[in-house]
Amino acid sequence: MNFPENKKSCLVENFDFRLIFEKSKKNTFKKCNDLPENITRSTLSIPELSEPEVIRHYTNLSKINFGVDTGMYPLGSCTMKYNPRFTEHMATHEQNMVHPYQDESTIQGSLEIMYLLKKHLINICGMDDFSLQPAAGAQGEFTAMAILKAFFERKNDKRNEVIIPDSAHGTNPKSAAMAGFDVVEIKSDEKGYIDLEILKEAVSEKTAAFMLTSPSTLGLFEKNILEIARIIHGAGGLLFYDGANLNGIIGKVRPGDMGFDCMSLNLHKTFAVPHGGGGPGCGPIGVKKHLVDFLPVPTIEYDGEKYYLDHDRPDSIGKVHGFNGNYLSVLKALGYIKRHGSVGLKRISEFSVLNSNYMVSRLSSTYEIKNPDIPRKHEAVFSASRHKNNDITALDIAKRLIDYGVHPPTIYFPLVIKEALMIEPTETESKEAIDNYCDILIRINDEATKDPEVVKTAPHTSIVGRLDDVFAARKMILRWSPGE
């Protein structure tokens, strides 16, 4: 491990912050006079720069950026695994240059790819059918909730409550509420598992569903899942599985076998499709037989001779995405599954679990963690509460990690752990990379006692330090507009 010099590099120090539009030099481009008047525009809002200027602009931006291609990016709950290059090659192949308005007979290959992925997901998850339409995990959750709403409405059943544990992803309660359900939050027990006593108190004739993430955001496998399923089904409710953390169990146990009636997946997590700024994502949803009729349209089907999109489904909740979903994500995920095979998929969960437990064993004497003896699945949540004595917060530790050239973990989530540092190494990190990350965290712990100021004022090396993230989240500016 190299210790940071706590100063900015030359590039960072002299960085040209201007947007590419601000670098634009008016009238660099000449209007083409060979075109007829009626198809030319008088203004065009594109930056006027030469090719080398454009290349340098983006190359320099990439130098101050950080991604899975740069180093370890253990953002808990996000499964920031390496995105293999072969899937990118597949996706950029010219055979994929198809248009959604093309006749089905001319895109049989693409439809087959979608159908194959659906079949694989059905097998991997133990469901009866899948829709590949939702564009992200949260949209998948919402789609599943809309399906449950339709299911109960058809039965003229007035159930309107969805029970959710306090360790859930924040999207769960919002998805349920958006679908028109009331949300009943229940407290987890001391260790972070579902508290069966509270669950039994919460279920009633109003219970429509229980949303569960397993392994949970604390990295714990819900060991009482069969009892939980019995309680929910016994009350007439259904179980939804949030598949955001599937990486911890893939190939080992299937949500369908654990009693779940429907589920969401994140291809951009478990199946190595790029996400974050590299998206778009894809959040397929799986359902058991009794919910198949309600899936969004179109579904992808095969009649023995040809693949086709089925729009004629009277009980469907309708469309949730333009055209047929994010096709290239589907393609990449299929490539990833095919390359791994069933043995390889098992290895994903084995290595992701091994890596997180190795990390716990290295860090548990330095950073506070609840019940370090309980094996974790894909991730573990530490707490920086102990560092409060030196006035050091989880945010300070996260910022200091940047100086050491690694990405911070997820912080302040899950809410059930104060000053949370939620670390998910994923299976793609080597022992050396995890050791390096742990060494850095141990060193920062040391700094927090001996030189807290250096941690409190971090980062010292990055182009920007402590951004106003609340302002950024409330006032999002996602694209440049002329005149701004």
Partner 1 sequence: MKVGFIINPIAGMGGKVGLKGTDDLADLAKELGGEPVSLRKAQLALQNIEDTDIFFLTCSGKMGETVLEKTLFNFKVIYHAPEKTTAQDTINAALKMLEANCDLILFSGGDGTARDVISAVDMKIPILGIPAGVKIFSPVFCITPKECGKIVSTFTETSIREVLDIDEEAYRRNELSVKIRGEAIVPVSPGVQSGKAISDSVDAKIEVASRIFDDFLAGGKDVLYIIGPGTTTMEVKKRFGIDGTLLGVDAFRNGKLVSKDASEKHLLDALLEFKGKVVIIVSPIGSQGFIFGRGNQQIGPDVIKRADDIKVIASPEKLEFTPNLHIDTGDHELDEKLRGYIKVLSGYHDFKMMKVV
DSSP element (H, E) containing 207: strand 207-213
Q: How far is the CB of 7 from partner 1 (least distance, A)?
A: 40
Contact region for partner 1 (CB under 8 A) — 86-94, 112-120, 183-191, 370-378?
183-191
| Token output for 248 | 């911890």
Backbone angles phi, psi at 251, to 5 degrees: 85, -10
Binding partner 1 (rule: CB under 8 A), the pick from 48, 53, 128, 185 is 185
Cα gap 185→166, rounded to integer Å: 6
Q: Is 78 in the site for partner 1 (CB under 8 A)?
A: no
Q: Taking the complex as a whole, how short is the minimal distance between the CB of residue 137 and partner 1, in angstroms?
A: 20
Identity of the residue, 470 or 478, whose beta carbon is nearer to partner 1 in the bound complex:
470
| Contact call for residues 441 and 363 (beta carbons, < 8 A) | yes
What gap in Å lies between CA 145 and CA 164, rounded to an integer?
13
From the list 153, 201, 257, 315, which residue makes contact with partner 1 (rule: CB under 8 A)? 201
14, two tokens: 């002299």
C-alpha span between 96 and 326 (Å, rounded): 12
Query: Do 140 and 134 contact (CB within 8 A), yes or no?
Result: yes
Separation CA 149–CA 157 (nearest Å): 10
Q: Is 370 in the site for partner 1 (CB under 8 A)?
A: no
Can residue 153 be called a binding residue for partner 1 (CB under 8 A)? no
Task: Find the binding residues for partner 1 in span 242-261 (CB under 8 A).
Answer: none
161: contact with partner 1 by CB under 8 A: yes
Stretch that binds partner 1, among 110-118, 129-137, 174-182, 235-243 (CB under 8 A): 174-182
**What is the smallest separation between the CB atom of 141 and partner 1, expressed in angstroms?**
14
Among 144, 150, 168, 202, binds partner 1 (CB under 8 A): 202
Q: Which stretch binds partner 1 (CB under 8 A): 67-75, 175-183, 239-247, 438-446?
A: 175-183
CB of 370 to partner 1, least distance (A): 17
Report the half-sphere exposure of 287 (CA within 13 A, side-chain side): 23
Q: Is 183 in the site for partner 1 (CB under 8 A)?
A: yes
Please provide the DSSP assignment of 238-279 as one string: EEEEEGGGGGGTTTT--GGGGT-SEEE--HHHHT----GGG-
Between CA 82 and CA 99 the distance in angstroms is 29
Query: Which is closer to partner 1, CB of 80 or CB of 394?
Result: 394
Is there binding between residue 5 and partner 1 (CB under 8 A)?
Answer: no
Q: Compare residues 153 and 453 and give the one whose CB is closer to partner 1.
A: 153
What's the min distance (Å) between Cβ of 183 and partner 1? 5
Query: Where does 56-145 show beta strands of DSSP type E?
Result: 129-131
- 74, 356 in Cβ contact below 8 A? no
The SS3 assignment for 237 reads coil
Cβ atoms of 272 and 91 within 8 Å: the answer is no
Choices 184-192, 221-229, 302-310, 476-484; region in contact with partner 1 by CB under 8 A: 184-192
Candidate list 176, 235, 360, 421; residue touching partner 1; CB under 8 A: 176
- Least separation in angstroms between CB 60 and partner 1: 42
Instruction: Output the CA angle 455-459-461, nearest 5 degrees.
Output: 130
**Span of 30-38, 129-137, 144-152, 180-188 interacting with partner 1 by CB under 8 A:** 180-188
Residues making contact with partner 1 (CB under 8 A): 161, 173, 176-177, 181-187, 198, 201-202
